[in-house]
């Protein structure tokens, strides 16, 4: 049984699943792209461009959504609208034009570090998909995210930049990276998520947990823990996998839509 604070009703598992499935159908469609940061990756067709654009966009995906999209577009301009080519072929002098870029606490020094780390990953680790796939577990990519952070900072780096890559093993919900992995791994057949990483499966994904999805999940009885941290993510994972073990993260659309668009 699930307790819904809004309606003061107890929902059976089947009722809750039907309710959330309806919301997934409502929000998991191309119209969602118009106001979401995922639109940045939809500007590209090459796999490497899509995944790099998505990773950089997801990295700054906190705060005002309009500001996120505006600054993500600026990053793509700085990369000459060819993310993969720029990252793999750039020279140090090419980064001079990045001065002045800032999104909240992510500044030009951080962006330069990200470009250098991404070049290292594509030159030495078979790209982003290769790194995330290496330590994947059957029902979790949290170990993969931890491993990714280690690889990302194998090159000389600024200590301040490490805060912009979350580590689930330090009890982070890693919201932005989990959102990014949803974009890359989940093929929703609706034209929103890309599903271009074939070495991973939707069953391994975790819901991007933030204030909106967390609050809605609590009202629906899917989550009890008050903090939006790694332990809360594990709890929410279990609840969503009971509803759909093969594609649990599809409910991100329902939780986010209920919170942001419906004020649930």
Do 140 and 132 meet the contact criterion of CB atoms below 8 Å apart?
no
Give the pLDDT confidence score for residue 263 in this predicted structure.
Answer: 84
Q: How far is CA 204 from CA 24, 57, 71, 166, 215, in A?
A: 19, 22, 30, 18, 23
Of the candidates 210, 106, 116, 99, the residue with the CA atom closest to the CA atom of residue 164: 106
Do 102 and 70 meet the contact criterion of CB atoms below 8 Å apart?
no
Give the pLDDT confidence score for residue 10 in this predicted structure.
Answer: 59
Write the secondary structure of 124-174 as one string of H (helix), E (strand) and C (coil): HCCHHHHHHHHCCECCECHHHHHHHHHHHCCCCCCHHHHHHCCCHHHCCCC
Mean pLDDT for back-to-back runs of 10 residues, the chain (264 residues): 46 91 96 95 98 98 95 98 98 96 98 98 97 95 97 97 97 98 95 97 97 96 97 98 97 95 87
Rounded (10°) CA dihedral 250, 256, 257, 261: -170
82 and 95 fall within a common domain: yes
The CB-side HSE value for 248 (13 A sphere, CA atoms) comes to 23
Domain count, the chain: 2
79 and 165 fall within a common domain: yes
Rounded to 5 degrees, φ, ψ at 206 are -120, 150
pTM: 0.94
111 and 194 fall within a common domain: yes
Show the domain range for 29.
1-35+207-264
161 and 194 fall within a common domain: yes
d(CA 14, CA 20): 10
251 and 122 fall within a common domain: no
125 and 240 fall within a common domain: no
The CB-side HSE value for 106 (13 A sphere, CA atoms) comes to 22
24 and 116 fall within a common domain: no
**Any idea how long the chain is?**
264
53 and 123 fall within a common domain: yes
């Amino acid at each position: 049984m699930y307790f819904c604070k809004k309606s003061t009703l107890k929902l059976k598992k089947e009722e809750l699943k039907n309710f959330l499935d309806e919301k997934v159908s409502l929000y998991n469609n191309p119209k969602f792209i118009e106001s979401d940061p995922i639109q940045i990756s939809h500007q590209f067709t090459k796999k490497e461009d899509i995944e790099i654009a998505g990773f950089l966009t997801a990295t700054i995906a906190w705060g005002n959504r309009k500001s996120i999209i505006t600054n993500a577009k600026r990053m793509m301009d700085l990369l000459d609208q060819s993310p993969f080519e720029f990252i793999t072929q750039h020279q140090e002098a090419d980064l001079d034009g990045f001065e002045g870029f800032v999104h909240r606490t992510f500044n030009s020094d951080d962006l330069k570090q990200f470009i250098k780390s991404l070049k290292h990953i594509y030159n030495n680790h078979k790209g982003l998909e290769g790194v995330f796939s290496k330590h994947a577990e059957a029902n979790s990519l949290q170990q993969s995210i931890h491993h990714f952070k280690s690889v990302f900072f194998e090159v000389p780096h600024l200590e301040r930049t490490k805060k912009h890559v979350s580590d689930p093993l330090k009890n982070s919900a890693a919201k932005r990276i989990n959102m990014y992995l949803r974009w890359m791994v989940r093929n929703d057949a609706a034209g929103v998520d890309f599903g271009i990483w074939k070495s991973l499966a939707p069953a391994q994904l975790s819901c991007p947990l933030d204030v909106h999805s967390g609050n809605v999940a609590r009202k629906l009885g899917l989550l009890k823990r008050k903090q939006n941290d790694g332990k809360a993510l594990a709890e929410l994972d279990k609840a969503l996998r009971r509803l759909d073990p093969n594609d649990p993260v599809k409910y991100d659309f329902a939780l986010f839509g209920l919170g942001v668009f419906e004020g649930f």
